[in-house]
Amino acid sequence: MKTENHKTGLIVGLFPEQYQIADLRLNKPVCYQKIEDGKMAGSMLLQDLNTAEIEKGKEVIYFCPNNIAVLMSISSKSLDKARELYKFFHSQSVEFRVENIEGDKRTFLNRVSSTVCDYVEYVQTAVVFAYTALETFANLSIPEEYVYQIENQAKGIAEIYDKRAIERWLSLKIKIQHILREIYCTKKIESQKWWAHFLNLEKYRNEIIHQKTINSTSFYKEYFKTAVFQSCECPLLVIKFFYEAHAENNRTNPIWPWLVNDKNYFPVSHQYDSSNFEVIGNVYEGIKK
């Protein structure tokens, strides 16, 4: 089915309770409902489809992934691998002191160093993608017409940022601390238990992205503390925090991934009108060209 905004989708059911989640990384279907005289007069679940050309004459059609969920999934998988190596490093049965090793000590150091590189790689992947998932969520949450104003006391002027300027020039810390709080009408951000973990996540990410010198590698040592795991896990807590405030106001939004949706809320549109949709095929006969 094609919508009036030229999107293609598949009707995957009539009511939310009929839907079964196939993959947590996919976008949620939108529930289109028609209400007449306060009663349900029509309903359908429409899940977006995309088509990509693999090679000439060959295409793949698929349900659209949720980019926030994909980013969080990459981070989570890397963090799981990092945890395995973290346990290895803390194993009482493994010896890491070079002086206690029999045989070629250089070979031993090379082997340990290679394992450390694997660990650093997993941790940094988890950090960068966790942070990117939050940044993506923050940017997608900002309405097109939203404007943020800061009073610059030093210059004696008011700085005004539209959505594009916010995305480009303001830090994720400011977006979460002030802008998302205003958009979602939440409690004070600094009082949330996850706030300190987010600040650490931002610090870890900035140390990776903005490394000043090749000789500055001391920040790797921080990866051998449990705090790095708590920081990489905080994006789920942050998004859940805003999701719960959002859901309490009976609002839904297609950006929300299944990962934060314990009650399986669906984005709902009450603008259902059959004239806004065109049937262009089905899963048995394909899509009309």
- Residue 289 CA to residue 273 CA, distance in Å, equals 24
H-type alpha helices, the chain: 67-89, 105-141, 163-169, 172-174, 181-184, 195-209, 227-248
**Residue 262, in any domain of the structure:** no
Structural domain that includes position 280: 2-65+267-287
Percent of the chain residues past pLDDT 90, beyond the cut: 51
The three-state (H, E, C) secondary structure of 46-104, written as one string: EEEEEEEEEECCEEEEEECECHHHHHHHHHHHHHHHHHHHHHHHCCCCCCCCHHHCCCC
CA 32 to chain centre: 25
Do 16 and 83 belong together in one domain?
no
**Residue 55, in any domain of the structure:** yes
Do 34 and 147 belong together in one domain?
no
Amino acid in position 263:
K
**Residue 61, in any domain of the structure:** yes
Do 85 and 148 belong together in one domain?
yes
- Residue 18 CA to residue 40 CA, distance in Å, equals 16
**Residue 261, in any domain of the structure:** no
Do 41 and 77 belong together in one domain?
no
The two tokens of residue 162 are 């539209």
Q: Work out how many domains the chain is built from and give that number.
A: 2
Of 52-61, 121-130, 162-171, the poorest mean pLDDT is in 52-61
Question: Each residue of 25-84: pLDDT tens digit?
Answer: 999 998 888 777 777 777 888 899 999 999 988 999 999 999 999 999 999 999 999 999
Do 275 and 231 belong together in one domain?
no
Do 82 and 225 belong together in one domain?
yes
